[in-house]
Structure 1
Amino acid sequence: MWLFNKTPNLDFMSRRRWAGLASLIMLSLAVAIIAVRGLNFGIDFTGGTIVEVGFQESVDLSEVRRTMDEGGYEEAVVQHFGTARDVMIRLGPRDEEDADALSNRVLDTLEERFPEVELRRVEFVGPQVGEELTEQGALAMLGALGCILLYVAFRFEYRFAAGSVAALVHDITLVVGILSLFQITFDLTVLAALLAVIGYSLNDTIVVFDRIRENFLRMRKGSTEEVMNASINQTLSRTLVTSFTTLLVVLSLYFVGGEVISGFAFTLLLGVLVGTYSSIFVASASALAMGVTKYDLQPPAKEGEDQEEEGEGARP
């Protein structure tokens, strides 16, 4: 297979306009979905109460949900926590009662159907704390993008920096749009996954940019598009193998890790897929669209070098 034996020769840059059109359509749909459906913020951001209970034997979550619905807690989110005998119940903010009274009522409701149930832990998150987490989470995202812009601009060239940030914004917008579409609970674990997606996508982009810079110095006669195509093809095997092995881990987390980290794993799964696409098509194509050429990364000629080359060329 070419993936392991030789470097492919795929013309990615000739398809950049079609890829750009597809990305623009997907981004427009993602923004529209976010605007219409919004995000399903978890208790970490909205405030509320978390009640952890334990059972002597494995319990069916559908039975627990039915019991909570009959007790007047239709909005409760019920998940396994750790084992099939441990259950986490998330409740939205209720102004009429405090966390202790609410947990006692939840326990009384469950004891009518499950007499052996035990209360393990109660955690309350106030609305003010939720608002602060929302603000700090947004600032963390913007701060990460700003630091990446400065880092890539310092290491490469400002048009490469803009291309890398364009790829990251593309990835985050698409992932958040899909989370909004399926109403995945957006909590601190999902926010952590988004920051991990930023790091993963940036790493892929930096690998491609490093090879582009090397080839700009080596391939003196090739056009900018040819240099970028060659660089993407040379790093394609590494990109695909890294994405494949990462997907294996993320899929294991998603299917085996339980509902507690399902949102985290699902976000990472989307991020790996979208990040692989953007590192090939979006980042390099954005830098090319802004007019970067191989002369922007070549070191300046030493004084008298041109005259020496001309003198050597004039010799018989």
Structure 2
Amino acid sequence: MNIQWNGVMPAVTTKFTDDNQLDLVNFEININAQLKAGVHGIILGGTLGEASTLTDVEKRLLIKKTVEIVKGKVPVIINIAEQTTTGAIEAAKKAKEDGATGLMMLPPMRYKADARETVTYFKKVANSTTLPIMIYNNPVDYGIEVTLDMFEELAACKNIEAVKESTRNLSNVTRMRTRFGDRYKILCGVDTLALESLLMGADGWVAGLVCAFPAETVTIYKLVKAGRIKEAIAIYSWFLPLLELDINTKLVQNIKLAEVATGIGTENVREPRLPLIGEERKRVLAIIENGLKSRPVLPKF
């Protein structure tokens, strides 16, 4: 399957049972809700997916289960966040074996590689696989920025096709377009900049709160692409307090609480994360409850 790298692609949460095992029942409920809303891809094993807590066996099981659920309707993309080049190459190999249709790649973990090292890392992994790749550019959270000059070098790898733009610098959408034209597809990776990025020409949205509100997220994207900007702004304005739950150290706990509220998830997280308690929990629940009370009626297309 070719990946168009556009539309709404949920960075889905990983569901856990009360005894800390993968909860594939609730996972399937959420994936089906995403598909019903019309998302354009499923991304596994990102920050929201609690990838750093997952075993290799669990990641492989999630890929296989997702492929089984989606039945070829949308691409299944797995995030690669490895400490070594060898480990990343092996992860890409296993992803293809398990049926993934694409990769999202972070720079090397833990070690802060320089530009030459980072480009070499991406190139070696890209050259080891036929799977299409989206570079995850998030220097705020992961400490390494993939600059325009680095993307210039990476353009030699034809299967590096897209970027998840999470620098928090909205003008990067324009910078990428000005320098590379349509060479790279651009997907916004920051929920609170999604509408702005789409209006500046981004191709899609790797979304977080979509995990709890898939229909609203997809509707915003569709309205923008249909030129119905005023309607998109109205829904986005309602959505913004909820979207801000994604721009937080405890985004996983926040979004899982929202999934519980909309009936398509559970609150269980894997330690060292712990469920929210006290005033922090009350604050997040209040935001979610206020959003549900004023949830907009979505236009039909």
The TM-score with structure 1 as length reference comes to 0.24
Structure with a larger share of its residues in helix: 1
Q: Relative contact order: is structure 1 or structure 2 higher (C-alpha 8 Å, sep ≥ 6)?
A: 1
Larger radius of gyration: 1
